Structure 1
Amino acid sequence: MFLPRTVFAAVVAGIVASPAGAVDFGRPATPEEIKAWDIDVRPDGKGLPNGSGTVVRGKAVYEENCAACHGANGQDGIKDRLAGGQGSLASDKPLKTVGSFWPYATTLFDYIHRAMPYQAPGSLEVDDTYAVAAYILRLNGILPADGKLDKQSLPKIKMPNRDGFVPDPEFSPKISGK
């Protein structure tokens, strides 16, 4: 859409005429607002909230919120495949799934918690997020059928491809004097 020159000129004049280049958009975030969005989880588990979830509960939550996109068993859905593919990364047809590619189980929790389910991102309760993560790890043979996850156990899971990532020296931090 194009603005008539007079409107465009008025908008530019309004921006230029603002006092001392101040921009009058929004306001500083409050500490409470920042805390509400400070939900990232690191590979070592820092940032994981209190709570827990089981594979059994995860299956029910998955069926209700995830299966429509990812398939009944994390396969054959209309969106990314979540299960299988172990041993395929070095093949002509690598299958990148949670079990074959992801290096950290904490990343799974973080992604589900912030971005899923697709139709309502961030709507799952913490316990249900742990449960879905447990179920997806079960689908990949990483957790037993009676498995349970919480902020202590999740970072301890060694994903099958944990050592499959090699740091690129170009992007590694430079240590002064070396």
Structure 2
Amino acid sequence: MGAPSNPWPRTVVGLFASIALLGGSVLAQGPSYGLGRAPTPEEIRAWDISVGPTGDELPPGSGTAAEGARIYRIRCAGCHGRNLEGGREPRRAPRLVKTEPGRDVDPWDAGRILPYRSPYATTVWDYINRGMPLYQEGTLTADQVYALTAFLLYRNDVIAEDLVIDAESLPQVEMPNRDGWAPLPEWKPLSPRLPGYPF
């Protein structure tokens, strides 16, 4: 029987071969996948349309509840119902006018979209502007969005019928549930779940 062969030379050669292959593949990589391009400033501006609570981003324009009622009948009633009562199957859109929730009322039918789920009136304008009408988003003018916002706020007893809603008056509208919101508690990764926090 002969002496056992030394495995070190083969291990060292294998290690260097692996490093060479890995290094070659790293050097062959390009800086990107070659897909897409950086958006132009104009393209960014077209999508940078969110409106905050202060309303600084609101465009010029104005509208009243009476104007909004006409626009609602044409552009919104097909899904949300003639009297903001919510749509019927198969296009079930939520109710837009508040109701008193009863014990057996489905939360979807309780009308909690407005004014309870919007801490700021600018949130209503922003949602209509970016998300409505469904499948035709972005087709409403700023004046139409102001008018629809005025109509919805009026129908939910938040503003007077004759109030003109514009970039100055909308941020000043006091929503009834503005103080009913709590900030998200601070959480750090690997921290235990916060007591009393549902998720």
Q: Bin the TM-score by the shorter chain.
A: 0.7 to 0.9
Aligned ranges for residues 25-64 of structure 1 at < 5 Å? 25-64=35-74
SS of aligned partner of 1:56: helix
Larger radius of gyration: 2
Aligned to 1:4: none
1:167 aligned to 2:165?
A: no
Match of 1:99 among 103, 115, 118: 115
Residue type of the alignment partner of 1:52: S
| Whole-Å separation in 1 of the counterparts to 2:83 and 2:187 | 37
Task: With the length of structure 2 as denominator, give the TM-score of the two structures.
Answer: 0.70
Choose 124-133 or 141-150, whichever is displaced more. Answer: 141-150
Counterparts of 1:32 and 1:131 in 2: how far apart (Å)? 27
Matches within 5 A, 1:121-140: 121-140=137-156
- Counterparts of 1:18 and 1:164, CA distance in 2: 57
TM-score (norm: length of structure 1): 0.78
Q: In 2 relative to 1, CA 142–123 (structure 1 residues): closer, same or farther, beyond 3 Å? A: same
What is the identity, as a one-letter code, of the residue corresponding to 1:42? G
Contact 1:85 1:100 in 2 (8 A): no
SS in 2 for 1:141: coil
Residue 72 of structure 1 is matched in structure 2 by 82
Q: Output the CA distance in 2 between the equivalents of 1:72 and 1:18.
A: 63
d(CA) in 1 for partners of 2:84 and 2:186? 35
Task: Give the gaps of 5 or more residues in structure 2.
Answer: 1-25, 189-199
List gaps (5 residues or longer) in structure 1: 1-15, 173-178
Q: Stretches of 4+ moved more than 6 A in 1?
A: none
Q: CA RMSD in A?
A: 2.4
Is residue 86–residue 96 contact of structure 2 (8 Å, CA) maintained in 1? no
Residue 21 of structure 1: CA displacement?
4.6
Q: Which of 58, 82, 85 is the aligned partner of 2:99?
A: 85
Percent identical across equivalent pairs? 43
Equivalent AA in structure 2 for residue 82 of structure 1 = L
Equivalent position amino acid for 2:130 in 1: R
Structure 1 position 17, deviation (Å): 9.8
Equivalences, count: 155
